[in-house]
Structures are given as structure tokens and as C-alpha cells.
Amino acid sequence: MIMKYLFTNDYSEGAHPRILEALARTNMRQEIGYERDSFCLEAERLILARVGNPAAAVHFVHSGGMANLVALASMLTRAYESVIAADTAHIHVHEGGAIEALGHKITLVAGLGGKITAEAIRAVMDKHLPDEHMVLPKAVSLAHATEVGTIYSLAELEAIAAVCREFGLYLFVDGARMGTALVAEGADITLRDLGRLTDIFTVGGTKNGALLGEAMVVNNPALREHFRRHIRQRAAHVAKGRIIGIQFAELFADDLYFDLARHSTSLAQRLRTGIARLGYKFFSRSPSNMSFPILPNAVIEQLQAAYGVYVWRGVSAEASVARLLTSWATPVSAIEQLLHDLEKLS
Amino acid sequence: MIMKYLFTNDYSEGAHPRILEALARTNMRQEIGYERDSFCLEAERLILARVGNPAAAVHFVHSGGMANLVALASMLTRAYESVIAADTAHIHVHEGGAIEALGHKITLVAGLGGKITAEAIRAVMDKHLPDEHMVLPKAVSLAHATEVGTIYSLAELEAIAAVCREFGLYLFVDGARMGTALVAEGADITLRDLGRLTDIFTVGGTKNGALLGEAMVVNNPALREHFRRHIRQRAAHVAKGRIIGIQFAELFADDLYFDLARHSTSLAQRLRTGIARLGYKFFSRSPSNMSFPILPNAVIEQLQAAYGVYVWRGVSAEASVARLLTSWATPVSAIEQLLHDLEKLS
Amino acid sequence: MIMKYLFTNDYSEGAHPRILEALARTNMRQEIGYERDSFCLEAERLILARVGNPAAAVHFVHSGGMANLVALASMLTRAYESVIAADTAHIHVHEGGAIEALGHKITLVAGLGGKITAEAIRAVMDKHLPDEHMVLPKAVSLAHATEVGTIYSLAELEAIAAVCREFGLYLFVDGARMGTALVAEGADITLRDLGRLTDIFTVGGTKNGALLGEAMVVNNPALREHFRRHIRQRAAHVAKGRIIGIQFAELFADDLYFDLARHSTSLAQRLRTGIARLGYKFFSRSPSNMSFPILPNAVIEQLQAAYGVYVWRGVSAEASVARLLTSWATPVSAIEQLLHDLEKLS
Amino acid sequence: MIMKYLFTNDYSEGAHPRILEALARTNMRQEIGYERDSFCLEAERLILARVGNPAAAVHFVHSGGMANLVALASMLTRAYESVIAADTAHIHVHEGGAIEALGHKITLVAGLGGKITAEAIRAVMDKHLPDEHMVLPKAVSLAHATEVGTIYSLAELEAIAAVCREFGLYLFVDGARMGTALVAEGADITLRDLGRLTDIFTVGGTKNGALLGEAMVVNNPALREHFRRHIRQRAAHVAKGRIIGIQFAELFADDLYFDLARHSTSLAQRLRTGIARLGYKFFSRSPSNMSFPILPNAVIEQLQAAYGVYVWRGVSAEASVARLLTSWATPVSAIEQLLHDLEKLS
């Protein structure tokens, strides 16, 4: 077998051709730097039109990890404040201690299918508020889609937003994979809902067809003031900020952003249906572009000879959770080949 | 007058056409992420061949501010350690307190034409070493070219490196504008010298023709271990790290990096000669792509109607230091037009 | 019922009379400041004689929380490093996020009766070492006695020290309640063992008869260099450091430190025997001066009318864990009265 | 000559006898911990009666460095905020980078006789407010008395407070040597003025007769909320907080605090008069308990054989600034002897 396709990630290729064309088309136009150029302003306008909140601000940073860092840096002000997150959260597990390096604790709650609940937030607050020897949570951070591909329902997000308001907590939604979360089967949250319910949310470009870039939508006026100083301090600025603005302007000029997400999500659905047909179960009920089949270790190993497959975790001595991602660039043929090969191995 | 040209910065355009072509050419090749792809490895190989130290490591980050942050995060380990820098240093003045946000003080010395001296470093150490109520410097940070366009001589850098060795200080050279510093008239420092004399130095792409990206050359083996964890923690990773690798591989595949620097530097020299001929003096003796003429405020204001011109600082009630930058993209005609217009205003 | 006695803490009274006498006796002698006076040097000498490591250094700080903070600040140097601790650890739960405010994550392991195990440390390292997106543990922190009154056996501590050596982890032992841990029934760890097996350990004064003060024994030469700069930076210095030195010199001039611990520990043992006789069970197998009986809520409430009793946590709708502490100052009569009243309520 | 007296510091002895007596008298009374005991509440009441602001809160910490750290931790909330201080400020020079370890820059202004001016604050704000690449000052920190013994006039403090209000800056006054500043000749600032004009100020005990302890008067209601969580996070709590409360209750039960300050200040005045009579000049116009005569190096060296004398800095190859401190415990005879010996050496 030769290597056929990497399902390891949704950022294994470059950018959608329209994005490369836009970069080439605008290349020699002189612009000011640091995401204040006319392309970034246009991208902001296009995104806010969909969010439905013209008073919000949009800022652009180069990566999802940076968007998380800047958002939480802006929310956690008093030194003793913490952020509530699920124990599977990327900011807790896989960002190298970036939040703690800000000086703030992550107050963990047990995730339910990767999701945090309003009840868990309330329980944390009831415990921490009266005890001055503890940190005091000031923000809630969740990912939509989550790290295990699940998505929140509108009812769940409304409940979380309500408990946040009750306790004066900021609500941050990490949308590194926002595209797939918005178009997945059963999804009932819209950009307008996020504009209405969150203090900051992000719209990821890197994992949905851009070379790089995340849009940060800052809804809460209290956070907008001097927000760019946080970007500066975290070294998040891209001098030629135009390169992110151009990409987002292209992605939101029409429905490109959503079309790309539909492509990756529908292919993942097709993959899951095929895998289920072979009798395998799944670690999480993901409707997004991330699939988590539980496969025999021997099968995974044989697959890995020809495909990029990430092992999420073991479940027994003989089986593990595999993680398979599809992207805007994944060809249908790659799905069919994988299912074909998997069937032979099963 | 209509706006003719921005001399405000050397990052006002996109990227050199060869870079856009390289991005397009490689676009659909699947690669692993986080600057571990084959393009980044190739770029590392090409850079180290010029540095002459195959044992060094090269890491790529998206911006000069981030390169400074990651380098100093890796050097300042004990909490009480500080970094010595000139009082004009970018890390002190214009990075929003990023170093202090790491938890470390910047110990300032008076800059001489933007440059730090071996003597000043020694004086700082003599004062701080015996007093346990003070911070203890552990690194020296300097920019080459400096923030006012000047460059170090090899003798100056050797002297600084010697005093660093004597006191156990790491030496970091911020090369956001390394290209112009290497090719400027009178320059006698090479990449090999930097590989030999510094612990970490950077080679800036953003200000020399790339869309974005800085190469960090880590010479000191003690700093190489786990270096990528610093990149992770500062949220410096670009998931599609390939996009930086592709650019640096192109810039160093032949002499493109140096050719672009020669273009911007020679145009700046032409600009300075022209301005001097009109009788104006300069704030700093810059041989690089940055020029700092001292002009009457009225002249600056009239120029600003047609050109992007940054006012560096006032020098009297009537005159100020203007900052003019040229880049790989600056046309000769823009220089001639500016000199022509300036002559009319003088 | 009138308030009879506070069992809430072991720091409800002032200091042992010999300590007050020593402060008065030495009051007008002039000394230099910041724990460099002759009393601190004498206290260091007396403690190191018992530790059996004349090459170690002893530093004095005002509180146990500060001792933890300074010790971990000295151990966690690279920004991505974390400290491993039990999920019941004081540094995790009750120090207001102090360690995270240093910039470092606490990597939690499930405590076993408040204790961390060598196996749990190994499991953490096996997971974190190969994944560069995670923090990298560099230290292990444990309390002896623990937060729930349990103590480590020498075999357990030897195993932990061995796994620490294997992975290059520093070992810190928080001895805020070291006195009771050393003299408790079944205790087989000595100060010499701590000097031999740990990098830093502390000997608490506050909870064993002093007005305030903790001795930090720094065994590892690599941590001794510039250690006082950490004390300075954390604002841990006491200008009249003599007042801590005088107290420790008095506590260790003979066996006073151990005699006071024996008093509090034997009274706690008497209390536990009496409570067990009444048929109650205990939350933890504490042989120290901390007792954790599980009592009906109604009983706790009635006790609280006359005694200071802290509720550690609920165990059901009807019962909770009470925490009862004895100290050097607790009279035998208070124990007898409490047992008498508890019997009437049962 | 034998060592006659240390003029090195004002904390070379223990505590005023009345304080030791108070500690002994109250020793066996049981109290709750962490500065919430009845003695701390009484001390708070007594101090606020003099401040004239019953709505303020008083918190107690063990040292002046810690008071500075906690105050600034409470004031600097957004990560990019800085504190303005004189370049001679203790927080800048001699606290081991404690403020930077909080993550915040100290924005320096040139001190005038150790004092900061309203004009300098305004100049800093005019420069930093419009430039988003710079830090943004949020607080002003000054010491009264300053590090060189000078004191502010009420007019100066009013002007500083006004410019702070204009720019939304918090005002912090470090009163480690507040006693001498209030009673010095020419002093026109009262505790009521400090309660009216500052957001937080401190009243130092360590350097005016206590064993240890600083009172932090928090006037601004916005800073009072959760203030104790800052104390907790910085490990500033003293478990037996009573020992600071008892001392301040004694110092402010009548005029003891002021009487002790008058003693040290009048002796310093006597010392300065005597030194001036011998023809020596002074480095600063200090009316406080700190004196800074400029003496020939040979004279200083001979004095140091018999007295504790700190050399503040050199002024030429032959002369230096000596720093001489008097305290509540300094006997008149020590002053006379020093003047006598100095006369012989001159």
C-alpha cells in the first residue's frame, strides 16, 4: 500500500483556490498594517452582517490557539480569576499551559461528550463564590464544535448563557471548527445566536479553507475597549494583516465559508455511515467533520500504512478510538477508498 | 496631490511574486502541521547551510514580535531574571509590555544610536550581581538593524558576545530587518557570524518580501531542548506551518532573500543621498532601508498629503524626524518622485 | 452552652511561652535584617544538625503558603513546566491560584487518602513527555502530613523520590504540619530522610507553637544559588527576620518542637479513640493532629454552638465530615469536655 | 573602636516594649485566623477613625514589599496596564522584579528628589494613550516618605491626585515610613488627606516600632471587593493574623505610633544639624528619619569601623552619599557619640 490520504487533520492542504487568487489579485496594493487595512475592514463588515450586530468588532489573529489566548486575556482581569472549561478542553490539554502562563487557573468540570453544562457551571460557582481561599471563575470557555466533534444545541447554549449572566461570567466560544458546527445535521445555532449569547466567539479560517486566520467577534462593549492592546501584548499581530482580511473577505463574500464546511461535513457523515455499516461503534456522537470510530488496534495499524489516522485514545487492550478528519479539500474518492480498505480489513 | 506612495513601512504590499507562485504550486500537497512539514525542513536546511552550523535548529513563527517573545521566554527561566536592552528597543517601547507579561523586567541601558555596548552591559552586571534585592540579567537583546536603522559592526558584536560569555548571559539578535542589515554599505557581519556569536537570532521574512514569517535560528544546544513547547505555549504555532516553510524555502533557494534586501537598501541609500543634497540632516546614521531625515514640520505635513510618512519624534517646535522606509516592492520612480516633490517644498 | 473551645485550627492561640520569652529577652539587640541575622543563622545550624546535611541551606518565610510559592517558583523555571500534585492539595484548592499566578499549571493526579503515589507520577510522565502540545511536569509537590491528616510511609516517599530522580523531577515536601507527621503513631520518616530524599522541604512553625514562620530546607545545590532572589521577588522577606530566627532557634534548641507536636498529636489520638468508641467512623486514617470524624449534621450543628468545628464536606444528606484540630495549646480538659458533650448528643 | 550603633536601618531592634506586652497579655485567647480576628478588627477601627473614612477597609500584611505587591495587583487588571513610578522607586530598583513578575511594566519618570510630579504623569499619559503598541498606565505609585527621605507637600499630592482622576489612574501611596512623613518638620499631609486623595495607602509598622506588619487602607470601593483574594493569591496571609492586629491596636490605641515617629525624626534632625555644622552637605532635603550626608570616603570607612553606615552611592572618586537611619529605639547618646566621632574624623 502506498500512502493514499491523510485523515489526520483538516489543515493538511493549502488554501481554497479562490483564496490564492484573491491574494494574487490584491498583491501590489499598498495597505496599512496590523489588521487595519481595507480588506480587514471589509471582512469585518461581511461577518458582522451575518452576525447581525453592527456594533460588534471583529479582530483577526493567525491561529485558534492565539484566539483563545487573546479572548481569555481580555476576560480574566483580576489576578485571582479563573476560566471554567471542560476537562477535555483544548485550552486545558493541548495548549502547553498557555492560560496558566497568563497567570490564571482553569477550573475544570467533567465534560459530557466534550460539552460543558449550565448545571456544572452553577455547581462550580456555588462552591467557589463563598470561599475566599479559592480562585473565582470569571469566564466560561467552550468549543463549538467540541474537541470530540460534538456540537451544542441552541437550548444548551441558551442555558449556559443564562447561568453566565446570573453569575457575571463572560462566555467565550472557540469556533476553530465553527463552519462544520453551523452546517452539521441537527445544528440549530446560528451566527446570530452566537452574536446574541456570547461575549466573544471566533470563526475559524485555518480549518475551513484559509491559509491561516481566525476571526474574533467581540460582542461585549466592555471587552472592545483597548482590545487591540491585548493582541499587541500577546504578539498576535500579523504586520501584513491584509493577508487574513483578504481571505475572510473572500470566504464571506458569498457562501464560500459555508459551502466548504458543507463539503467536509457531508463527507464525514458519509464516512460514519459507511463505518457504522461495517458494525463499528463510535466514541462520540459527532455530526461534524470529525469522526471517532472505535476500531481494533490491528485494523488501525494496517490502515495507518496507507492513511494518516490519529489514535485519540485506547479503550481496551485490543481497541482504540481513531480520529478521522475531512476537509474542504477531501475528495469523495478518498472516503470511498478508505471504506473499501476498511471493509477488507474487517 | 493624490496619494502616490506609502513610505510608512516595508510591509505595505503583499509578497514577492515568486512566493505567491510557490504557494500556488504546492497548494494541494498534503503535509503534517505545525512547522514540521517537508517545506519547513527544507527551509531549515537551506538557512543552516548559510549559517554554517548544521547542529543548530530553525523554527518558524508568524511575526517578529512573536519571535522576540519566544526567544526571550526560552532564555529567561528563573523568575527573577531580566533581559538587558537599549532604551529604544522595540521590546521595551512598542510591544505592549509583552516581555513584562512573561514576568520579566527589561533592564535598560542608554542606547547609542539605537545600539547597546559591551561596556554598558558590564556596568549593569557590576551593579546587579552583588545586590540580591535587584533582578539578575540573564540575556541581552539587540536588533540588527536597530529600530533607528543603524547596524552593528562585527567588532561591536564580538565585544558584546564576549561580555555575554563572561557573565553567562544569553545573546539574542532580533533580525526582523536582517536582510538590509546584512547587505547595507559597510556591513561586515554575516549569517555565519551570527551563528557563531549568538544563542538565538532571527531572519525576518515579513519585512523582506514574505507574506509573513520569521525564521528563528537556535544555536545554543541548551536552548534547543523542548524549544517547541515555548512556541506552543505562546500560541505561536501556525497549523499550516507549511506556508512559512514554503516562503523561506523560496527566499533561500537562491539569493532571493539578499536580492530583495539589496533592492530596498539601495533605494534607501539613493533617497538619503537625495535628501542630503537638499541640505537636510539625519537623526541616525542608518545604512539600512530605514531613513530618518530631520525635516521642517510644514514640509512633513505637505509630504503627508501625497505620501505615507511616519513622524518618529519631534526635535524642536519647527522640525521633526521623519521615518521613510523602502521595500522589495518600492519602485525607483517613487523615490524620484518623492525627491522631486521634496525639492519643490524646500 | 457557651463557647468552650475552638477545634477549628491549630493556630488559634498565640505562641508557646518560651517563644515570647525569647523575643523579649533578645528585643534590644541590634541585628541586620532580612533573615541574615545571628538568630536565623543559629536556627539554620540547629535545624541542619537534625537534618544531617550541613551543606543544605535554610531560609525562613512567614507562612506555609509562601513557602510553597517560593519553593515552586525556584523549581519551575522553563515557562511550560508544571508541578504534579494530588487533587486535594492545598496549592490546588486553597491558595487562590497562587501557582498559576506564577504562570505554571498544576498537573493533578487523583489523591489516595490525600496522598500521591509513585505510580501516578509515572503515568503522568508517560503521557506528557512525548506530547509537545502538553505542559511538561518538572516538580512533584506533596504535603506531609497531608490536607486530610494522613502521613507518608518511608517506603512511599522512597518510591516517589525514585520516580522523581528517574524523570528529572524536583521533589518538594510541604511540612506546614511536619511536627505531627514526624511524631505520629507509625511514622517512620525522619528529618534526615527528608534531607536525603527531597530537593526542598519545609518545617512549619505557625502550626506548632510559633507566632509565625516556616523553615525552608533547600537540599539541592542547584536550587540554592540565588534562592534569596526568589524570596525577594515574592515579597516574602520579613525585614526583622530575626523574629522568625529567634523562634526556630528556641524550638530547636532542645526538643521543644517535637514535644509540642507530641502534645497535639496525642490529644488528637485520644479524641479519635473516644469518638470511635461512640460508634462514629472517620473520613481519613489520620494519625496526626487532624481528625475527620463523620458525624450526623444535627450533631455537628449542636456541637458548633459550643465549639469551633469546621465542616470539611458533606457525605450524604444527613451526615458530614467534621474537621477537628488540636494544638500545642489544647488542654486535655477540652478533649474530655468535647467527648462528654458528643456522647450526650449521640 | 568597638561597634557602637547600627544606623543602617530603622528595623535593627525588635519591637517597642508595649507591643511585646500586648502580645504576651493576649497570648492564650483563641481567635480565628487570617486577619479576621477581633484584634485586627479593633486595629482597623482605630486606624479608620484617624483616616476619617469609616467606609474604607484596612487589611494587614507582613511587609512593605508585600503591601506594594498586593496593592498593585489589585489595581493593574488588564494585562497591558502599567504603573507609573519614579526611577528611584523601591518597586523598580529593589524588589527583585516583583511587579514585572505580576506581568506588568513599570513606566518610569525621572524622579525629582525622589518624587514624582503631576506634570510628569501627564506627559506619560499623552504619549501612551494614543499608541496602541505601548502599555497603558493605570496606576501611579509613590512613597511617602520617599526612598531618599523626602516628603510630599499637600499641594503636590493634590496635584497628583487631580491628574490621576483626569486620566482614570489609581493612586497608591507606599507608607512604609508613613510615621516619619506625617510628623516631619514642614509636613502638611494628614491621614485624612491620604484617605481623601488616594485609592490605597499603607501605614508601616515594621519601621516604626512593630515586630512586623503594614496596614493597607483601601479607600476606593471598586478595589475593596474581593481584595482578600489578592492577599490569598500572593501568599500574603499570616495565619495568626492576630499578631499584626494586636500590634496596630496598640500603636493606635493612643498616640504611640506618632510618638515613636517623633522620636526617630527628631533624632535624625539633630543628627543632620550636627553634620551640617561640620560643613558637610546633603544629597537630599530629607526632613524624615533618613539622612543622606555626603562624606569623604575615608571618613565613611572609619565610621564603619564603629557604626553601621550604608553607602547609598558614590558622588565622586573621593566622596559618597552615606545613609543614616534613626528609629524609635535609637538613644540620644548614639547620636551624640556619632557626631563626636565624626567631628574628630573631619
Option in C93, C96, C134 nearest A94 (CB) = C134
Residue C1 has pLDDT above 60, yes or no: no
Distance of CA D181 to the CA centre of its chain: 9
C95–D233: do the CB atoms touch at under 8 Å? Answer: yes
Option in C94, C97, C132 nearest A82 (CB) = C97
Option in C80, C226, C232 nearest B78 (CB) = C226
A78 touches chain C (CB under 8 A): no
Residues of D312-335 as b/e, b for ≥16 C-beta within 10 angstroms? beeeeeebbbbbbbbbbbbeeebb
| Own/partner long-range contacts of D296-305 (Cβ < 8 Å, ≥24 apart) | D299/D342, D299/D345, D299/D346, D302/D345, D303/D338, D303/D341, D303/D342, D303/D345, D305/D1
Cα separation of A303 and A345, whole Å?
8
Cα separation of B5 and A31, whole Å?
10
Residue A246 has pLDDT above 80, yes or no: yes
Which contiguous run of DSSP H or E holds residue C302?
Answer: helix C297-304
Chain C interface, best mutation among A135, A147, A311, by max C CB count within 10 A = A135
Cα separation of B80 and C235, whole Å?
12
Binning pLDDT at 50, 70 and 90, where does residue C4 land? confident
Dump pLDDT digits (tens) for B223-271. 999 999 999 999 999 999 999 999 999 999 999 999 999 999 999 999 9
Residue A2 has pLDDT above 70, yes or no: no
Residue D113 has pLDDT above 80, yes or no: yes
Chain B residue with CA closest to D132: the answer is B96
Which pairing describes strands C294-296 and C106-109: parallel, antiparallel, or unpaired? unpaired
Dump pLDDT digits (tens) for D231-268. 999 999 999 999 999 999 999 999 999 999 999 999 99
Instruction: Establish whether the linkage from the previous residue to A145 is cis, with ω within 30° of 0.
Output: yes
A297: Cβ contacts below 8 Å, ≥ 6 apart: A314, A318, A319, A320
Chain A hits for C135, Cβ within 8 Å: 96-97, 100
Binning pLDDT at 50, 70 and 90, where does residue C226 land? very high
Cα separation of B344 and D285, whole Å?
57
Q: Which residue numbers in chain B have pLDDT < 70?
A: 1-2
Q: How many Å lie between the alpha carbon of A128 and the closest alpha carbon of chain C? A: 10
Locus of grid cell 507549511:
B242
Residue C294 dihedral angles phi and psi, to the nearest 5°:
-95, 120
Option in A20, A26, A206 nearest B240 (CB) = A206
C237–D206: do the CB atoms touch at under 8 Å? Answer: no
Cα separation of B159 and B145, whole Å?
17
| ipTM given for this complex | 0.96
Q: How many CB pairs under 8 A join A and B?
A: 157
SS (H, E, C) chain D: CCCCEECCCCCCCCCCHHHHHHHHHCCCCCCCCCCCCHHHHHHHHHHHHHHCCCCCEEEEECCHHHHHHHHHHHHCCCCCEEEEEECCCHHHHCCCCHHHHCCCCEEEECCECCECCHHHHHHHHHHHCCCCCCCEEEEEEEECCCCCCCCCCHHHHHHHHHHHHHHCCEEEEECCCHHHHHHCCCCCCCHHHHHHHCCEEEEECHHHCCCCCEEEEECCHHHHCCHHHHHHHCCCCCCCCHHHHHHHHHHCCCCHHHHHHHHHHHHHHHHHHHHHHCCCCECCCCCCCEECEEEEHHHHHHHHCCEECEEEEECCCCEEEEEEECCCCCCHHHHHHHHHHHHHHC
Q: How many Å lie between the alpha carbon of A223 and the closest alpha carbon of chain C? A: 22
| Own/partner long-range contacts of A296-303 (Cβ < 8 Å, ≥24 apart) | A299/A342, A299/A345, A299/A346, A302/A345, A303/A338, A303/A341, A303/A342, A303/A345
Chain A hits for D79, Cβ within 8 Å: 73, 77, 102, 230, 233
For chain B, the straight-line distance linking the first and the last C-alpha, in angstroms and rounded, comes to: 17
Chain B hits for A96, Cβ within 8 Å: 229, 232-233
Q: How many Å lie between the alpha carbon of D234 and the closest alpha carbon of chain A? A: 10
Q: In C51-181, which ranges are E strands? A: 57-61, 81-86, 106-109, 136-143, 170-174
Residue B308 dihedral angles phi and psi, to the nearest 5°:
-80, 115
Query: What pLDDT, on the 0 to 100 scale, is given for residue D99?
Result: 98
Mean pLDDT for the stretch of residues D149-154: 98
Cα separation of D143 and D116, whole Å?
9
Dump pLDDT digits (tens) for C164-202. 999 999 999 999 999 999 999 999 999 999 999 999 999
Cα separation of A255 and D282, whole Å?
76
Chain D residue with CA closest to A236: the answer is D133
Query: What pLDDT, on the 0 to 100 scale, is given for residue C2?
Result: 61
Residue D219 has pLDDT above 80, yes or no: yes
Option in B93, B101, B135 nearest D96 (CB) = B135
Binning pLDDT at 50, 70 and 90, where does residue D325 land? very high
Residues composing chain D: 346
List the strands of the sheet with A136-143, edge to edge: A57-61, A214-218, A200-204, A170-174, A136-143, A81-86, A106-109
A104–C97: do the CB atoms touch at under 8 Å? Answer: yes
B152: Cβ contacts below 8 Å, ≥ 6 apart: B115, B142, B144, B160, B181, B189
Cα separation of A244 and B211, whole Å?
10
Binning pLDDT at 50, 70 and 90, where does residue D1 land? very low
For chain A, the straight-line distance linking the first and the last C-alpha, in angstroms and rounded, comes to: 17
Chain A hits for D133, Cβ within 8 Å: 232
Average pLDDT, chain D: 97
pTM above 0.80, yes or no: yes
C234 touches chain D (CB under 8 A): yes
D78–A136: do the CB atoms touch at under 8 Å? Answer: no
Dump pLDDT digits (tens) for B126-173. 999 999 999 999 999 999 999 999 999 999 999 999 999 999 999 999
Q: How many Å lie between the alpha carbon of A127 and the closest alpha carbon of chain C? A: 11
C136–B229: do the CB atoms touch at under 8 Å? Answer: yes
Residues composing chain C: 346
Cα dihedral value B10, B15, B18, B21, nearest 10: 180
Dump pLDDT digits (tens) for C6-54. 999 999 999 999 999 999 999 999 999 999 999 999 999 999 999 998 8
Option in D103, D133, D232 nearest A132 (CB) = D232
Cα separation of C120 and C142, whole Å?
13
Average pLDDT, chain B: 97
Cα separation of B136 and B130, whole Å?
9
Chain A hits for C80, Cβ within 8 Å: 96-97, 101
Identity of the residue numbered C310: Y
D24–C29: do the CB atoms touch at under 8 Å? Answer: no
Cα separation of D67 and C157, whole Å?
38
Asked if C154 contacts C160 with a C-beta cutoff of 8 angstroms, the reply is no
D133–B101: do the CB atoms touch at under 8 Å? Answer: no
D148 touches chain C (CB under 8 A): no
Q: How many Å lie between the alpha carbon of A65 and the closest alpha carbon of chain C? A: 11
Chain B hits for C226, Cβ within 8 Å: 78, 80, 132, 136
Q: How many Å lie between the alpha carbon of D153 and the closest alpha carbon of chain A? A: 33
B243–A211: do the CB atoms touch at under 8 Å? Answer: yes
Query: What pLDDT, on the 0 to 100 scale, is given for residue B55?
Result: 87
Mean pLDDT for the stretch of residues C74-98: 97
Chain C hits for D242, Cβ within 8 Å: 14
Residue A181 has pLDDT above 50, yes or no: yes
Dump pLDDT digits (tens) for D3-28. 789 999 999 999 999 999 999 999 99
Q: Give the CA count within 13 Å in the CB-facing half-sphere of A299.
A: 21
Alpha-carbon dihedral sign for residues A241, A246, A252, A253: positive
Query: What pLDDT, on the 0 to 100 scale, is given for residue D305?
Result: 93
B12–A30: do the CB atoms touch at under 8 Å? Answer: yes
C12–D6: do the CB atoms touch at under 8 Å? Answer: no
Q: How many CB pairs under 8 A join A and C?
A: 57
In 3D space, the residue among B133, D66, D147 whose CA is nearest the CA of residue C232 turns out to be: B133
Q: How many CB pairs under 8 A join B and D?
A: 57
B316: Cβ contacts below 8 Å, ≥ 6 apart: none
Mean pLDDT for the stretch of residues D185-192: 98
C133–A94: do the CB atoms touch at under 8 Å? Answer: yes
Residues 313 through 332 of chain C touching chain D, CB cutoff 8 Å: 329
A212 touches chain B (CB under 8 A): yes
B239–A9: do the CB atoms touch at under 8 Å? Answer: yes
Alpha-carbon dihedral sign for residues A178, A179, A185, A186: positive
Residue A255 has pLDDT above 80, yes or no: yes
Query: What pLDDT, on the 0 to 100 scale, is given for residue B112?
Result: 87
Residue A265 has pLDDT above 70, yes or no: yes
A77 touches chain D (CB under 8 A): yes
Query: What pLDDT, on the 0 to 100 scale, is given for residue C254?
Result: 98
C134 touches chain A (CB under 8 A): yes
Chain A hits for B232, Cβ within 8 Å: 65, 95-96, 98
Cα separation of D103 and C293, whole Å?
44
D80–B97: do the CB atoms touch at under 8 Å? Answer: yes
Cα separation of A99 and A81, whole Å?
11
Cα separation of B239 and A8, whole Å?
12
D132–A232: do the CB atoms touch at under 8 Å? Answer: yes
Chain A hits for D226, Cβ within 8 Å: 78, 80, 132, 136
